[in-house]
A and B are shown apart, each in its own frame.
Chain A
Amino acid sequence: MKLTKTLLASTALTVAAGAVAADGHMANDMTLVSWGGAYQQSQINAYTDPYTEMNPGVTVTWDESSAEAVAKLRAMNEAGNITWDVVDVVAADALRLCDEGLAMEIDPDEHLAPAPDGTSAEDDFGDLLVGDCFIPQIVYSTTFGYRTDMVPEGVEAPNDICDVFDLETYPGMRSLEKRPINNVEWALLCDGVAKEDVYDVLSTEEGQEQALAKLDTIKDSVIWWSAGADTPQLLADGEVFIGSTYNGRLFSAIEEQGQPIGMMWDAQVFDLDGWIIPEGLSDERLARAMDFIYFATDTQRLADQAKWISYGPARASSAPLVGDHADLGIAMAPHMPTDPNNSKNTFLYNYEFWADYRDDIDAKFQSWLAQ
Chain B
Amino acid sequence: MALTVQVQSPSMTGFTAPMTAAFSAMFGFVVGNAFGNPWIGLVIGAIVGAGLAFALHALPLKRGQGRLVSIVAFAIVGVVLGGGGGAVAGAIIGAVLTWFVYWLDSGDYRKNVPIYYTAGQTLWHNTFMLICGLIFFFLIAPLIPVMWLSFNAEDFFTFTPEMLAFKAEGYSLKHYRDFLGTDEWMVPLKNSLIIAPIATFLSVSFGTLAAIGLSQSHVPGRQAIMAILISPMIVPLIISATGMFFFYAPLGNWIEANLGLSQAFVGYVKVILAHAALGIPFVIITVTATLVGFDRSLTRAAANMGANPVTTFFRVQMPLILPGVISGGLFAFITSFDEVVVVLFVGSAQQQTLPWQMFTGLREQISPTILAAATILVTISILLLATVELLRRRSERLRGLSPS
Chain A residues 1-46 with CB under 8 Å of chain B are: 7, 10-11, 13-15, 18, 29, 31, 33, 35-38
**Interface membership of A230, Cβ < 8 A:** yes
> Residue on B with the closest CB to A249?
B365
Quick one: which of A33, A38, A79, A236 contacts B154, CB cutoff 8 A?
A: A236
Q: Which residues of B contact A119 (CB under 8 A)?
A: none
Q: Is the Cβ of B360 less than 8 Å from the Cβ of A83?
A: no
Quick one: which of A14, A31, A38 contacts B349, CB cutoff 8 A?
A: A31
* Stretch in A60-68, A104-112, A188-196, A339-347 touching the partner: A60-68
Q: Is the Cβ of B263 less than 8 Å from the Cβ of A83?
A: yes
Q: Which residues of A contact B262 (CB under 8 A)?
A: 18
> Residue on B with the closest CB to A256?
B155
Quick one: which of B252, B260, B264 contacts A81, CB cutoff 8 A?
A: B252
Q: Which residues of A contact B155 (CB under 8 A)?
A: 257
> Residue on B with the closest CB to A236?
B156
Q: Is the Cβ of A36 less than 8 Å from the Cβ of B349?
A: no
Q: Is the Cβ of B360 less than 8 Å from the Cβ of A65?
A: yes
Q: Which residues of A contact B363 (CB under 8 A)?
A: 36, 67, 227, 229
CA distance A151 to B361 in the complex (A): 31
CA distance A67 to B360 in the complex (A): 10
Q: Is the Cβ of B156 less than 8 Å from the Cβ of A81?
A: no
> Residue on A with the closest CB to B184?
A62
- A328 nearest CB across to chain B (Å): 15
**Interface membership of A80, Cβ < 8 A:** yes
**Interface membership of A348, Cβ < 8 A:** no
Q: Which residues of B contact A228 (CB under 8 A)?
A: 364
Q: Is the Cβ of A75 less than 8 Å from the Cβ of B348?
A: no
Chain A residues 223-237 with CB under 8 Å of chain B are: 227-230, 232-233, 236-237
Quick one: which of B157, B259, B267, B348 contacts A11, CB cutoff 8 A?
A: B259
**Interface membership of B366, Cβ < 8 A:** yes
| A-B pairs with beta carbons under 8 A, tally | 88
- A19 nearest CB across to chain B (Å): 10
- A80 nearest CB across to chain B (Å): 6
Q: Which residues of B contact A61 (CB under 8 A)?
A: 349-350
Quick one: which of B156, B158, B260, B263 contacts A14, CB cutoff 8 A?
A: B260
Q: Is the Cβ of B364 less than 8 Å from the Cβ of A257?
A: no
**Interface membership of B250, Cβ < 8 A:** yes
Q: Is the Cβ of A227 less than 8 Å from the Cβ of B253?
A: no
Given A61-B350, A67-B363, A257-B155, CB of A10 within 8 Å of CB of B259: yes
Q: Which residues of A contact B115 (CB under 8 A)?
A: none
Quick one: which of B253, B264, B349 contacts A80, CB cutoff 8 A?
A: B253
Q: Which residues of A contact B361 (CB under 8 A)?
A: 36, 64
CA distance A25 to B267 in the complex (A): 23
**Interface range for A:** 35 or more
* Cβ proximity bits B124-166 to A, threshold 8 Å, 1 near / 0 not: 0000000000000000000000000000001111100000000
**Interface membership of B320, Cβ < 8 A:** no
Q: Is the Cβ of B364 less than 8 Å from the Cβ of A64?
A: yes
- B160 nearest CB across to chain A (Å): 9
Q: Which residues of A contact B365 (CB under 8 A)?
A: 36-38, 229
How many B residues, CB 8 Å from partner?
Answer: 30
CA distance A124 to B352 in the complex (A): 37
CA distance A236 to B361 in the complex (A): 18
- A204 nearest CB across to chain B (Å): 35
Q: Is the Cβ of A257 less than 8 Å from the Cβ of B154?
A: yes
* Cβ proximity bits B367-396 to A, threshold 8 Å, 1 near / 0 not: 100000000000000000000000000000
Q: Which residues of A contact B350 (CB under 8 A)?
A: 29, 31, 61
Q: Which residues of B contact A38 (CB under 8 A)?
A: 365
> Residue on A with the closest CB to B155?
A257
* Cβ proximity bits B246-259 to A, threshold 8 Å, 1 near / 0 not: 10011011000011
Q: Is the Cβ of B349 less than 8 Å from the Cβ of A83?
A: yes
**Interface membership of B245, Cβ < 8 A:** yes
* Cβ proximity bits A72-104 to B, threshold 8 Å, 1 near / 0 not: 000110111101100000000000000000000
Quick one: which of A11, A78, A227 contacts B364, CB cutoff 8 A?
A: A227
Q: Is the Cβ of A233 less than 8 Å from the Cβ of B156?
A: yes
Q: Which residues of B contact A36 (CB under 8 A)?
A: 360-361, 363-365
- B350 nearest CB across to chain A (Å): 5
> Residue on B with the closest CB to A81?
B249
Quick one: which of B267, B348, B360 contacts A64, CB cutoff 8 A?
A: B360
Given A10-B259, A35-B364, A67-B363, CB of A81 within 8 Å of CB of B253: yes
* Cβ proximity bits B326-360 to A, threshold 8 Å, 1 near / 0 not: 00000000000000000000001110100000001
> Residue on B with the closest CB to A21?
B262
* Cβ proximity bits B233-250 to A, threshold 8 Å, 1 near / 0 not: 000000000000110011
CA distance A65 to B352 in the complex (A): 12
> Residue on B with the closest CB to A40?
B364
> Residue on B with the closest CB to A35?
B364
**Interface membership of B298, Cβ < 8 A:** no
- A111 nearest CB across to chain B (Å): 24
Quick one: which of A35, A79, A230, A233 contacts B246, CB cutoff 8 A?
A: A79
Given A14-B261, A18-B260, A37-B364, CB of A63 within 8 Å of CB of B249: no
Given A79-B246, A83-B263, A227-B363, CB of A236 within 8 Å of CB of B158: yes
> Residue on A with the closest CB to B364?
A36
- B191 nearest CB across to chain A (Å): 11
Q: Which residues of A contact B252 (CB under 8 A)?
A: 81
- A265 nearest CB across to chain B (Å): 23
Q: Which residues of B contact A80 (CB under 8 A)?
A: 249-250, 253
Q: Which residues of A contact B154 (CB under 8 A)?
A: 236, 257
Q: Is the Cβ of B250 less than 8 Å from the Cβ of A79?
A: yes
Q: Which residues of A contact B267 (CB under 8 A)?
A: 83
- B369 nearest CB across to chain A (Å): 11
CA distance A228 to B264 in the complex (A): 31
Q: Is the Cβ of A62 less than 8 Å from the Cβ of B250?
A: no
18 additional A-B residue pairs with CB within 8 Å, beyond A18-B260, A232-B156: A11-B260, A31-B348, A36-B364, A63-B348, A64-B361, A65-B360, A78-B246, A79-B249, A80-B253, A81-B249, A81-B250, A83-B348, A84-B349, A228-B364, A233-B156, A237-B157, A237-B158, A257-B154
Pairs A–B under 8 Å by Cβ, sample size 27 = A10-B259, A14-B261, A18-B260, A31-B350, A35-B364, A36-B364, A37-B364, A61-B349, A64-B361, A65-B349, A67-B364, A79-B245, A81-B249, A81-B250, A83-B267, A227-B363, A227-B364, A227-B366, A229-B363, A229-B366, A232-B156, A233-B157, A236-B154, A237-B156, A237-B158, A257-B155, A259-B156
| Chain B residues within 8 Å of A, Cβ to Cβ | 154-158, 245-246, 249-250, 252-253, 258-264, 267, 348-350, 352, 360-361, 363-367
Which 6 pairs between the two chains have the least Cβ-Cβ distance? Answer: A63-B349, A79-B249, A14-B260, A36-B364, A37-B365, A83-B348
